[in-house]
Copies of this chain bind each other. A is one copy, B any other.
Amino acid sequence: MKYILPKGFQASGTHCGIKRFKKDLALIYSKTGCKAVGVFTKNKVKAAPLVVSKSILKRGAPIRAIVINSGNANCCTGWYGTRDANRMIGAVCKNMQLKFNNVLVSSTGIIGKRLPIDLIEASTPKLVKLLSEKGLLGVAKAILTTDKKTKISVEKFNVGKKEVIVTGIAKGAGMIEPNMGTMLSFIMTDAKIDKDALKFALREACDKSFNSITIDGDMSTNDTVLLLANGLANNKTIKRGTKEYKAFLKVLKNVAFKLAKNIIEDGEGATKFVTVYVENARTTTDAYKVAKAIANSCLVKTSIHGENPNWGRVASSVGASGVGGIKPNRFEIYLDGVLVFKGGKFTMPSSKRFYKIYKRKNVEITVNLNLGKKDAVMWTCDLSKRYVEINSHYMT
């Protein structure tokens, strides 16, 4: 079940020469038209392919394919950017007898260098020829940049007697922050579903996955999640608010969460997987603010890296979050389940328990604000010397 595409989908990945050796060009294809929805970066500096894909989605024609390159973000490339994104689509249209409005485009990699569009055009016929129902691993590889591992998640569920498959792939390892940090994800399903339901499901799934992870607090120019549904499972159409919708949403959330988790685990230089829970805030926004302040604190992240249970830095981040009503005497901090801070001071747990904190690969920080009833969860990784090493030299 690891590498299964939903019915009617094919995929391929190849090397066109943007990168020296690795795969750098990918194609996702559906033999029938898909309903398609997307979630995009909030960065005001947006890459050209993102702007082009957004406008194609707006036109609402059925989507048949997504063409993706890695190694070059086609961002900050001026007038050429849009032209080259259009040419990427054009090459696919020409080789597959599709129309411009049926194809989406996406790019990730270095900012500010012109796309070697000739290489992409030259390799598109091969890319099309490689399309296969077994092409999932190839496409998952071809979208990677600094990632060490491919990120694939597949889930199945039933609507009546019809089996529905949801398959997602993702890339991303640095420059990740809530609101779509360079993170790309493409999710395919053969579910038959209302466009409206599809849109809401993607939004909700992203909020509890891709939008709740942070590696270094930087928000990228290219972040994109695209969800395609071709309806070939031939189930009873899924509508919002039904129990089938709930089942679909659950599966979509699982796929998105697993991909988001893979991104954190593959964070540049990451050695720990960190979950930050904030409980009993006045509002959900407040809860996220506090969680983000902790998850983005360089001091908290370096202390986790050093397996040094420095709760003072967590307390300081809570105070610095800018959230109203926070009182040191009121909030509690648990590190890996051990209560370390309460009533404004260190609780002095037994040293046996204290020195177990942060030793495992999975680290948990829980802050109980005791101010209201709203919660939030965020996921992040530690900050290591390796992160600095990678990012001192990689020319994004």
A residues in contact (CB < 8 Å) with B: 42-46, 73, 75-81, 110-113, 174-175, 177, 216-221, 296-299, 302-303, 305-306, 308, 310-313, 315-321, 323, 326-329, 341, 343-346, 383-385, 387-389, 391-393, 395-396
Q: How far is the CA of A174 from the CA of B302 in the complex (A)?
A: 12
Q: Contacts of A175 on B, CB cut-off 8 Å?
A: 299, 316
With a cutoff of 8 Å between Cβ atoms, the chain B residues found around residue A306 in the complex are 391-393
* Known A44-B326, A112-B311, A113-B346; 12 more pairs at CB < 8 Å: A77-B344, A78-B345, A81-B345, A218-B297, A218-B298, A218-B316, A221-B319, A298-B387, A298-B391, A302-B387, A302-B388, A312-B396
Across-interface contacts of A321 in B (CB, < 8 A)? 44
Q: Within the complex, which residue of B73, B221, B303, B344 is in contact with A76, where a contact is CB–CB below 8 Å? A: B344
Complex formed: what's the CA distance from A46 to B326 in Å? 11
Please name the 10 residue pairs, one residue from A and one from B, whose CB atoms are nearest each other, closest first: A111-B312, A306-B392, A45-B319, A78-B345, A302-B391, A219-B320, A44-B319, A385-B385, A43-B319, A216-B298
Q: Would you call A45 and B303 a contact (CB within 8 A)?
A: no
Copies in the complex: 2
- Whether A383 and B393, one on each chain, are in contact in the complex, defined by CB atoms closer than 8 angstroms, is no
On whether the beta carbons of B310 and A396 are closer than 8 Å, the reply is yes
Query: Is A76 a contact partner of B218 (Cβ separation < 8 A)?
Result: no
Residue A46 contacts which of B44, B76, B317, B319 (CB distance < 8 angstroms)?
B319
B299 x A174 contact (CB < 8 A): yes
Q: Give every chain B residue within 8 A of A80 (Cβ-Cβ).
A: 345
In contact, A344 and B78 (Cβ under 8 angstroms): yes
Question: Which chain B positions have C-beta within 8 A of A43?
Answer: 316, 319-320
Measured between alpha carbons, how far is A305 from B394 in the docked complex, in Å? 12
CA distance A346 to B389 in the complex (A): 25
User: Knowing A297-B218, A298-B217 touch, does A310 contact B395 (C-beta < 8 A)?
Assistant: yes
Q: Complex: how many Å from CA A343 to CA B81?
A: 12
Residues in B neighbouring A311, C-beta threshold 8 A: 112
Q: Tell me the minimal C-beta distance from A361 to chain B in angstroms.
A: 16
Contact assessment for A328 and B110 in the assembled complex, using a CB-CB cutoff below 8 Å: no
Asked if A305 and B392 sit within 8 Å, CB to CB, the answer is yes
Q: Which residues of B contact A310 (CB under 8 A)?
A: 395-396
CA of A113 to CA of B340 in the docked complex: distance in angstroms? Answer: 12
Q: Are B75 and A312 in contact (CB under 8 A)?
A: yes
Q: In whole angstroms, how far apart are the Cα atoms of A81 and B175 in the complex?
A: 40
Determine if A392 and B344 form an interchain contact, defined as CB atoms under 8 angstroms apart.
no
**What are 30 contact pairs spanning A and B, CB under 8 A?**
A42-B320, A44-B319, A44-B327, A45-B319, A45-B320, A46-B319, A46-B328, A76-B341, A76-B345, A77-B344, A80-B345, A81-B344, A111-B313, A111-B315, A112-B312, A112-B315, A112-B346, A175-B299, A175-B316, A216-B298, A217-B296, A218-B297, A302-B387, A302-B392, A303-B391, A303-B392, A303-B396, A308-B395, A385-B389, A388-B388
